[in-house]
Structure 1
Amino acid sequence: MATHSKPHMTRRYLHAALAVAVATTLAVPVVAQAGAFQLPTDNAAGWARANAGGSLFPDDPTAAYNNPAAMSFFSAPAFQGTLTEIRPQAQFSGQTLDVDGYATTGGNPNGFGKFVPFPNIGWVVPVNSWFALGGALAVPYGLESNYNSQWQGRYFGTETYLQSVNLSLSAAFKLNDRFSIGVGVLGQRTKAELNTVLDPNGAAKAIFGLPLTPGLDDEQLNVNVRRKFSWGFFGGMVFKPTDLDTLGFSYHSRVDNNLSGSYAVYGGATGKSLLTLAPLLDPSLPTINPNGASASAQFDTPAFASVDWLHTFTDRLTMAATVKWTQWSTFKELVLMSEGQQLLSLPEQFKDSYLFSVGGDYKLNDQWTVRGGIGYDQTPTNIISRDPRVPDGARKLLGFGLGYKLNQHISFDLGYEHQFVSNTPVHLTNQPILGGQTMDGYFADSGDVVSLTGTYHF
């Protein structure tokens, strides 16, 4: 009996390793909800101001989503389209070790490093002097990272793609010349692709010390999940205490997204054959289908609120400030399911975060405007949840840009923002059942944003 006990237990725990690995990969949509994934839904002028002022600047169609109350102060209909390109950078320095304490093979690429486009469209139509309607298409969450499947940190993640697109309708009511309120409803579509590499040999060695070589029988796990439509709401108010000052407050609700889709496993025949034996070896283990199966995970985008202030110093100079709060602390637990089975229940430890920014406009003449701003954006991540997919840290923001008014109807804006991030430490240890690898070091992070906007005032 003793002769056969170890192979039997080895198969059992290799299956358990793969089962938990599937669940861990499905957990990534929540882990990925870091500050780096929340995108300001601004136009080029907003990015140039380091996101200060929200939509309080005159006749800004982003108000249709950011703060609908500002729409009631429009004098004429307006349509605006923005294309924003965002390029995060994250270069790892440090070491990744297998369960034996040897350096993991592979290179160390920058998993980001390319510009990713995000659109933003808004329109506002004043119906009369006290009522206005608007709509917007925005991307409040999105990121793309791509490490090759041979990089040294492959057991902590390879490819990640996430995008949430909002389509919204809103209305504004001016109660008097100084105060207005606005409300809106949104539909959100979310999709995610998350890939990682599994090491069954490392798992067996971590648990039993069996003489297996880590990394020889790797399996590639790919997960694709999405939610076609989820609903949320938002609202705001605008108050003008003086002729030179404007105050705004806005709130956007949490949106509950139950993502569903499938997973697939790619690799050698040995690993796949073990998958089919898992339920036979231990009925308590979830069934992991080597040919793929359904997958689901909860991805709730958090509520957030902003307080904005705008002051006109002269006909040429206008300054603004913003404080934005995001309720990341609502992420407490994640339950992962496949084929009606609970794969895993994971605790989360995110914290609420704040954005602080100051910026403004200076009109050179009737055609040209220069803009600039600075800001500080906290991260909700911590040393426990931070990983190569989202090596996020607190960011210092610096923006500048230009605006050009072609005529009374057409204007263009160009904005640039650079995000300075201090070296972000990462200290990770995979559970023994996942292979027991370690990652110890830091990511040198930064970000660049280039945005171009065209606006037509009717």
Structure 2
Amino acid sequence: MKTIVFRGAMLAVAPTALMAASAAHAGAFYLQEQSVRAAGRAFSGEVADTGAASLWWNPAAIGGMTGGDSSFGISAILPKGKVTNTNTLIRRPTNAAPVAVGGDQVSKDPINNGYLPSGSIAYGITPKIALGLAISSPYSFTTNYDSTSWVRYTADKTMLRTFDIQPSIAFAPTENISLGVALNAEHSKASLSNFLPNLSALQPDGHQTLKGNGWDFGWTAGAQFRSGPITIGGSYKSSVKHVLNGDVITAGLLGPLAAQNGTISTTATFRTPWQATFGARFKATDKLTLNGQIVRFGWNKFDAIRLGAPINAALPENYKNTWSFAGGLDYAVNEKWTLRSGIQYDQTPTRDGNRDARVPDGNRWNFAAGTSYNLTPGFTIDAAANYLTVKNASIDRTTAAYAGTAVQTPILVNGELRKASVLVFALGGRLRF
């Protein structure tokens, strides 16, 4: 019976938070700010561009290079938005019918501002072989809801940090073709929590926190074809199966539920999406280069979160595969100064009926502008700014505390994400040696 009741309590945690990113810079929990140069043109030509700055998207980007190249940057991600209650109800065992969940009816800006660093380096060992290394944080975010928020039973505080180390090797069999492969070693650390309803509304809420971390691995492969003014690129980044080892800490439950207070060790398993990217760059004039990129995200890999012993439950997520489309340009004002701009449309993988306050995500448009200036023959400074508009979306995933027991407590979620947007400012540089 103890395991059954505990399993029900975990359902109230809404474990989606292990990976959810809400209104971040790309769909769901993916952060794409791995290059300041890329941000300036709305990530529209990265799979077909060259140099260390494009390593995250395509390890073939360094094929055929001579000497060394490095890229570094930091992005400030500043999200805004309101998570508003419409008519969320809770049905306790002591109630004959559902009643209003109460609490603060609007949670303003629950997604914390973030600062995302990135860096990469590459060196041409021979005219045909190059080695590279990219370090990034592709899935990272923090959200905070007040303890008095209407979403408190499905979301409280959530933190995810991933660190991806990507060693790469590229081979250029001819001056027109480059092939590359990479290993993705990812460390993930997550902490998420929510409040738990006691049996009586007159009693204070209990609380539950899940913490875990682990190392896991994936891979990336890509190719480029370069001919005159045209470069075409394609790459595939695998899904990564993450296994987090950690603890569930429960406190504050009263009466018949008090036996559930304490700490239990468990694991949580989930998958990040695969990415298939195709793009091209066309040098239309001596000054103007046009960029285009399409990404297919395999979000269906994030179909469930599987909790290990002693919980032994699979929690469905039902994410759907999505598309991202981007177009942009680079304009060389002179030998030292380049301007960029771009537009990107990115779909959300979350579905109506399955979206909770940990993932207040919607389809988005990204409008970008950027610039580069060659301070010396070997050093370039990059800057970019992005403005994202996020479509209003329902928050409507029903959960239940203590599911499957005599004290099952459904939370009938009915809310909406409104007026969400994101500002991103990025600054970095590229050094050739």
Q: Is the 8 A contact 1:28 1:194 kept in 2?
A: no
Q: Which amino acid aligns with 1:223?
A: L
Question: Which residue does the alignment assign to 2:286?
Answer: 315
Q: How much has 1:175 moved relative to structure 2?
A: 1.2
Q: How does 1:333-348 map to 2 (within 5 A)?
A: 333-337=304-308, 340-348=309-317
Q: Find the aligned partners of 1:152 and 1:80 in 2 and give their Cα distance.
A: 44
- Please state if 1:254 is matched with 2:239: yes
Does residue 274 (structure 1) correspond to residue 266 (structure 2)? The answer is no
In the alignment, is the contact (CA less than 8 A) between 1:320 and 1:359 conserved in 2?
A: yes
CA contact (8 A) 1:351 1:381 kept: yes
1:442 and 2:400 are equivalent in the alignment: no
Please say if residues 6 and 311 of structure 2, whose CA atoms lie closer than 8 Å, have aligned partners that are also in contact. Answer: no
Give the residue type in structure 2 aligned to 1:366: E
What is aligned with 1:167? 165
Pick the structure with more strand per residue: 2
* Whole-angstrom distance in 1 between the partners of 2:384 and 2:427: 7
Deviation at 1:114, TM superposition (A): 3.9
Structure 1 partner of 2:376 = 407
**More displaced, 359-368 or 349-358?**
359-368
Which residue in 1 is equivalent to 2:188?
Answer: 190
Q: Aligned partner of 1:191: which letter?
A: K
Identical columns (%): 26
AA matched with 2:185: G
Give the number of equivalent residue pairs. Answer: 416
Which residue of structure 2 aligns with residue 88 of structure 1? 79
Aligned to 1:389: 358
Aligned CA distance change for structure 1 residues 373 and 243 (closer, same or farther; 3 Å): same
CA offset digits 1:289-344 (Å, max 9, x no partner): x221212110221211100100001121111000011111123343312xx32342
Q: Given that residues 323 and 355 in structure 1 are in contact (C-alpha distance below 8 angstroms), is that contact kept between their aligned partners in structure 2?
A: yes
CA shift in 2, pair 1:347/1:449, >3 Å:
same
Q: CA deviation at 1:180?
A: 1.1
Task: Please tell me the residue identity of whatever aligns with 2:107.
Answer: P
Change (3 A) 1:119 1:215: farther
2:219 to 220, 230, 233: 233
Contact 1:200/1:435 (8 A) holds in 2: no
Shift of 1:184: 1.0
| Aligned: 1:27 with 2:12 | no
Whole-angstrom distance in 1 between the partners of 2:208 and 2:152: 11
Whole-angstrom CA distance in 1 between matches of 2:356 and 2:327: 31
> Kindly tell me: are residues 70 and 378 of structure 1, through their superposed partners in 2, closer, same or farther at Cα, counting changes over 3 Å?
same
Counterpart CA distance in 2 for 1:244 and 1:299 is 42
Determine if contact 2:272/2:301 at 8 Å carries over to the other structure: no
- What residue is the counterpart of 1:431 in the other structure? 400
**1:236-286 deviation line (CA, Å, top 9, x unaligned):** 00012x300000001111111111101212326x25x7342xxxxxxxxxx
Kept in 1: contact 2:266–2:311 (CA 8 A): no
Q: State the alpha-carbon separation in 2 of the partners of residues 159 and 114 from structure 1.
A: 10
Q: Look up the equivalent residue of 1:44 and give its one-letter code.
A: V
Q: Is contact 1:64-1:134 (8 Å) kept?
A: yes
Alpha carbons 1:39, 1:141 under 8 Å: kept: yes
Q: Name the structure 2 match of 1:69.
A: 60
Q: Report if aligned partners of 1:31, 1:385 keep a CA contact under 8 Å in 2.
A: no
Q: TM-score, normalised by structure 1?
A: 0.85
Name the CA distance, whole Å, in 2 between partners of 1:44 and 1:149.
37
Alignment match of 1:292 (pick from 260, 263, 278):
263
Q: In the alignment, what sits opposite 2:427? A: 452
Structure 2 CA distance, aligned partners of 1:439 and 1:341? Answer: 28
Paired AA for residue 38 in structure 2: G
Of 303, 317, 333, which aligns to 1:364?
333
Asked if structure 2 preserves the Cα contact closer than 8 Å seen for 1:26 and 1:336, the reply is no
Secondary structure of 1:237's counterpart equals strand
What do the CA deviations read for 1:4-24 (whole angstroms, capped 9, x no partner)?
A: xxxxxxxx79x9555412255
Work out whether residues 320 and 358 of structure 1, in 8 Å CA contact, stay in contact via their aligned partners in 2. yes
**Superposition pairs of residues 199-218 of structure 1, within 5 angstroms:** 199-201=197-199, 212=200, 214=201, 216-218=203-205
Higher helix content, 1 or 2:
1
The answer on whether the counterparts of 1:49 and 1:374 sit within 8 Å (CA) in structure 2 is yes
Q: Which segments of 5 or more consecutive residues in structure 2 lack a partner in the other structure?
A: 92-97
1:175-205 deviation line (CA, Å, top 9, x unaligned):
111111011112110011101011132xxxx
Would you say 1:44 and 2:36 are equivalent positions?
A: yes
Matched, 1:355 2:355: no
- Which residues of structure 1 form unaligned runs of 5+? 1-11, 202-211, 277-287
Residue type at the aligned position of 1:20? G
CA contact (8 A) 1:20 1:343 kept: no
Amino acid at match of 1:274: L
Q: TM-score, normalised by structure 2?
A: 0.90
Deviations along 1:221-241, one digit per CA (max 9) or x if unpaired, are: 1111111x212111100012x
Q: How far apart in 1 are the matches of 2:387 and 2:107?
A: 22
Is the contact made by 1:199 and 1:215 (CA closer than 8 Å) also made in structure 2? no
Check 1:130–1:300 CA distance in 2 against 1; reply closer, same or farther (3 A cut): same
Q: Is the 8 A contact 2:252 2:258 kept in 1?
A: no
1:26 and 1:187, CA in 2 relative to 1: closer, same or farther beyond 3 A?
farther
- Larger CA deviation: 106-115 vs 152-161: 106-115
Amino acid at match of 2:179: I
Retained in 2: the 8 A contact 1:42–1:51? no
CA contact (8 A) 1:26 1:295 kept: no
Asked if the contact 1:171–1:184 (Cα under 8 Å) also holds between the matched residues in 2, the reply is: yes
Instruction: Report what 2:277 is aligned to.
Output: 306
Contact 2:129 2:169 in 1 (8 A): yes
Residue 440 of structure 1 aligns to which amino acid in structure 2?
N
Q: Give the Cα–Cα distance (whole angstroms) in 2 for the partners of residues 28 and 36 of structure 1.
A: 11
CA-based RMSD of the aligned residues comes to 2.2
Q: 2:367 is matched with which residue?
A: 398
Residue 203 of structure 2 is aligned to residue 219 of structure 1: no
- Counterpart Cα distance in 1 of 2:262 and 2:305: 25
Q: Residue type of the partner of 2:128?
A: W
Question: Letter of the aligned partner of 1:222 in structure 2?
Answer: T
CA offset digits 1:118-149 (Å, max 9, x no partner) = 11110010112111110010111112111111
Q: Structure 1: how far apart are the matches of 2:222 and 2:99?
A: 55
Alpha carbons 1:335, 1:342 under 8 Å: kept:
no
* Structure 1 residues 296 and 186, CA gap change in structure 2 (3 angstroms): same
